A and B are shown apart, each in its own frame.
Chain A
Amino acid sequence: MITVNVQYFAILREQRGLAQERLATAAGTPEALYGELRARHGFTLPADRIRAAVNDEFVASSASLRDGDRVVFIPPVAGG
């Protein structure tokens, strides 16, 4: 198990009901962690619409998560 800090934005923040949390997980990748959190909280966006960032940088959804990482799941963007 590792402990990570997850930050939520936009639709994910609303569906989770909070902006960040610290949690212990057996997930080894952002994709696995999103799957776990989606099942727990009922996020509507499927994994293939989400990008991941770790420690303020984009990463592949298959990247390895490490203890203490700050993870952000990025819903489809809509600036401008």
Chain B
Amino acid sequence: MFKISPEPIAPAALQRTLADARAGACVTFEGWVRNRNEGQPVLSLEYEAYAPLAEKEGGRIVAEARERFALLSAVCVHRVGHLQLGEMAVWVGVTAEHRGAAFDACRYIIDEAKARVPIWKKEHYASGATAWINCAVRGEHAIP
């Protein structure tokens, strides 16, 4: 399951949905809003998603993880809206019989989600400036 959430993420409730007597491992990942990016002080982050396609593509990533790794369950929730420092932007939780599959699948889901799901973030800096991450260009050329 992959969900876009305009409401704060509730990790305890999400983790309870993973409860399974067959599971010997549960790995969770929380992505938090931090106060610095590439040397610039960050005050807050705004997340925006193209929700219908984000949930479709996110669902495909979760399905891929279930095919590649011996999982019992996998869930990812990504927040949208204006988030303050310390708030949770994304939560991934997976269960498996054994820890290896659980660690690997959790990593796979967050890495693929960052690379593929249509979600954008805008950083608000202490200077008052803002920037959409990965969208900078110089003239006709992308800044790598």
Contact = CB atoms under 8 A, between A and B. Distances in A.
Interface of A: 7, 9-11, 13-14, 44-46, 48-49, 53, 56-58, 72, 74-80
A9 B31 CA distance: 22
Nearest to B79: A79
A44 B141 CA distance: 10
B99 interface: no
A79 B142 contact: no
Given A46-B140, A80-B89, A56 B135 contact: no
A49 B132 contact: no
B125 interface: no
Contacts, number: 86
A44 B53 CA distance: 23
Contacts of A46: 137, 140-142
B120 A49 contact: no
Given A10-B48, A56-B56, A75 B132 contact: yes
Nearest to B52: A56
A59 to B, nearest CB: 11
A72 B122 CA distance: 19
Contacts of B120: 9-11, 75, 77-79
Interface of B: 31, 47-50, 52-54, 56-57, 78, 89-90, 110, 113-122, 132-135, 137, 140-142
A56 B142 contact: no
A58 B50 CA distance: 12
B92 to A, nearest CB: 10
A76 B134 contact: yes
Contacts of B89: 79-80
A78 B53 contact: no
A78 B50 contact: no
A15 to B, nearest CB: 10
Contacts of B90: 79-80
A79 B48 contact: no
Given A53-B53, A57-B53, A77 B117 contact: yes
